[in-house]
Amino acid sequence: MKKSNARYAALIVAPLVVAGVAVYLLRSSDGATREPAHEAAPKQRPAPPRRSQRAPAQPQAPAQELAGACAVADLGGIRPLRLSIVTRKEKAGAAAHPVADQRPKLARLTEEVYLYAVLRARHNGKVVHFTAADRVRLGRRRLPASKVKAWPLSCKPRIRWFKVEPTHNNYSYVKRSNPIAYAETALGQGWRVLADVHPSHLDDQFKKVKSGVGVMRFKATMALGDHQLSTPGKGALHRGGVSKKLVRVTHRPHTGKISDYAFELFNTPYIWGSMGFQVEGQIGVDCADLMVYSLRRSGRKLGYTWSKGLVADRRRFARVKDGKVKVGDILYHGRHVGMLHEENGNGVLDNNDKVVHTLFHEPEVLTVKKFGWPEVVLRWRRR
């Protein structure tokens, strides 16, 4: 029985084997149907993504930048390792500038802050840092002068700069499950650029100010040979807000008023129920915390609270009852608060006096008439 089964299987398989050999010989004799050994089979192009899935278009590098870009063969003994950003305030004509570092910069409107790209690389077996800054501190470490060098090659890395900024101006209880949305907006190219805090998505209320007013984060990318490096960007979040890993620069007025400090939170969204770390980190703020932040930055000691908490704090705040107001007074109107920023000089609250506040909108300046006539005026008690 077993022998007959084996004979039967052989009768079936043998013709199939013969047919397969014949087809192989036929295809081998026809060169037009055979793929050349030195060419790979063409790859099938994937279907284009739907419109909603497509990434936003990235700004293209200028033609002259692409012309001088470094190819792999041009790098010689340079092997890129990491890209970082450092910043420093600079004054035109100054003989020397401070050390460029990664600390947040709080600058006046009259000061300029520059961003520097720093490339950590291995060059001829040694670790060096290429940058346009002459003195650099990364983290807590001041880099030795021998390890800070200018870029040595005639070809140039493609360095692009971006602002990292919020796209919406109103949130409630920001947290990991309800994060702020950020975008990356092209700023410039090169080893060094001027920090510009003008917003692109929120309202730019100070278009005529060169630097802009408020806070802004920045990102840099570098294309060098076949290496693509980047500093943290819009995807670097912590507890729903942008991470501290991003370099940030702030510009504010310097008139001596308490309300000057409120401008450090411009270009951030309104957050209903903002937390202390969100305010101190310049991530977002509500109306009461904007008042507290300004007072804390001016040296007053108090904790973050809500609008009625300010009104109830009679130990720290006195109620103004004679109608004579001063810049820095807090105006309470319908569970909402703002700070008097400009007063016309007569010492009496008028409809055209200016208030800084935030309510379902990024911080802004508006008239008392638009803000609403206050029910209570609070003033910090002198101690």
Maximum mean pLDDT: which of 73-77, 95-99, 370-374:
370-374
* Enclosing domain of residue 366: 283-380
pLDDT-derived band at 33 (thresholds 50, 70, 90) equals very low
- Would you state the pLDDT for residue 95? 59
In a domain? residue 156: yes
Same domain? 316 vs 170: no
Classify residue 78 by burial, with Cβ atoms within 10 Å: 0-12, 13-18, 19+. buried
Same domain? 217 vs 361: no
In a domain? residue 76: yes
pLDDT-derived band at 97 (thresholds 50, 70, 90) equals confident
Could you give the 3-state DSSP secondary structure of residue 93?
A: coil
CA-based nearest residue to 285, from 259, 303, 304: 304
The strand pairing partners of 160, in sequence order, are 189, 221
Give how far Cα 81 sits from Cα of 3, 128, 130, 351, Å.
Answer: 71, 10, 11, 59
Same domain? 325 vs 197: no
- Would you state the pLDDT for residue 68? 53
Number of domains comprising the chain: 2
| Across 36-57, average pLDDT | 36
pLDDT digits (tens, 9 = 90+) for 173-226: 999 999 999 999 999 999 999 999 999 999 999 999 999 999 999 999 999 988
- For residue 337, how far is the Cα from the chain centroid? 29
For residue 59, pLDDT beyond 50: no
Could you give the 3-state DSSP secondary structure of residue 32?
A: helix
| Across 336-363, average pLDDT | 95
In a domain? residue 257: no
**Among 252, 274, 303, where does a domain finish?**
252
Same domain? 196 vs 291: no
pLDDT-derived band at 35 (thresholds 50, 70, 90) equals very low
Same domain? 111 vs 161: yes
In a domain? residue 270: no
**Among 198, 229, 252, where does a domain finish?**
252
pLDDT digits (tens, 9 = 90+) for 100-142: 999 999 999 989 999 999 999 999 889 999 999 999 999 999 9
Asked if residue 99 lies in contact with residue 90, where contact means CB atoms within 8 angstroms, the answer is: no
Least trusted range by pLDDT, from 20-24, 246-250, 366-370:
20-24
| Across 89-108, average pLDDT | 86
- Would you state the pLDDT for residue 112? 94
In a domain? residue 272: no
In a domain? residue 271: no
In a domain? residue 310: yes
Q: What does pTM read for this prediction?
A: 0.80
Return mean pLDDT, the chain: 84
**Among 208, 236, 252, where does a domain finish?**
252
Same domain? 236 vs 137: yes
Maximum mean pLDDT: which of 96-105, 290-299, 344-353:
290-299
pLDDT-derived band at 383 (thresholds 50, 70, 90) equals low
Same domain? 331 vs 218: no
Same domain? 221 vs 325: no
The bridge status of strand 270-272 relative to strand 170-172 is: parallel
Question: For the chain, how big is the Rg over CA atoms in Å?
Answer: 32
- Would you state the pLDDT for residue 322? 82
Same domain? 243 vs 373: no
Same domain? 73 vs 174: yes
In a domain? residue 184: yes
Report the residue count for the chain. 383
Same domain? 303 vs 245: no
pLDDT digits (tens, 9 = 90+) for 242-293: 999 999 999 999 999 999 999 999 999 999 999 999 999 999 999 999 999 9
pLDDT digits (tens, 9 = 90+) for 297-319: 999 999 999 999 999 999 999 99
Tokens for 365?
Answer: 């300046």
| Across 7-30, average pLDDT | 42
Same domain? 86 vs 230: yes
Residues 6 or more apart whose Cβ sits within 8 Å of residue 47: none
